[in-house]
A = this chain, B = another copy of it.
Amino acid sequence: MACFIYAIFGSCKDSPVGPTAIAAILTRENLHNLGPEFAVLLCFLSGCVELLMGILQLGFLIDFISGPVSVGFTSAAAIIIATTQIKDVLGLSFPGSKFLDVWEQLFEHISETRLWDTILGFTCMAILLLLRKAKDISVGPRDTIGQTRIQKVVNQFLWLLSTARNIIVVVVCAVMAYLFEVHESQPFILTGHVKPGLPPFHPPPFSAQVGNHTYSFLEMSSTLGSATFVVPLLAILENIALAKVFSDGKAIDATQEMLSIGMCNILSSFVSSMPVSGALSRGAVNHASGVSTTFGGIYTGILVILSLQFFTPYFYYIPKASLAAVIIAAVVFMVEFHVVQPMWRTKKVDLIPAFATFLSCLFIRLELGIVIGIGINVVFLLYASARPSVRVEKAMSPSGCEYLLITPDRSLVFPSVEYVRNVVSKAGMKLGSCSVPVVIDSRHIQGADFTAAKGIKSLIEDFVKRNQPILFYNLKPSIVEIFQGVQPKDFKYCQNESELNELLKGKQRRATVA
Contacts and interface: CB of A to CB of B under 8 A. Distances in A.
B419 A451 contact: no
- Copy tally for this chain in the complex stands at 2
Given A66-B449, A410-B410, A345 B386 contact: no
Interface residues of A, number: 66
A350 interface: yes
A287 to B, nearest CB: 14
A381 B385 contact: yes
A194 interface: no
Interface in A451-503: 451, 453-454, 458-459, 461-463, 465-466, 482-487
Interface string A337-354: 000001111110110000
A383 B60 contact: yes
A382 interface: yes
Interface string A301-323: 00000000000000000000000
Interface in A368-398: 377-378, 381-387, 389
Interface in A59-98: 60, 63-64, 66-68
Contacts of A451: 66-68, 350
A422 interface: yes
A416 B419 CA distance: 24
B60 A419 contact: yes
Given A60-B383, A415-B64, A418-B63, A485 B342 contact: yes
B346 A482 contact: yes
A385 B416 CA distance: 14
Nearest to A451: B67
Interface in A177-233: none
| Closest 6 pairs between A and B when the two form their complex, measured CB to CB | A249-B462, A346-B485, A345-B485, A66-B414, A67-B451, A350-B450
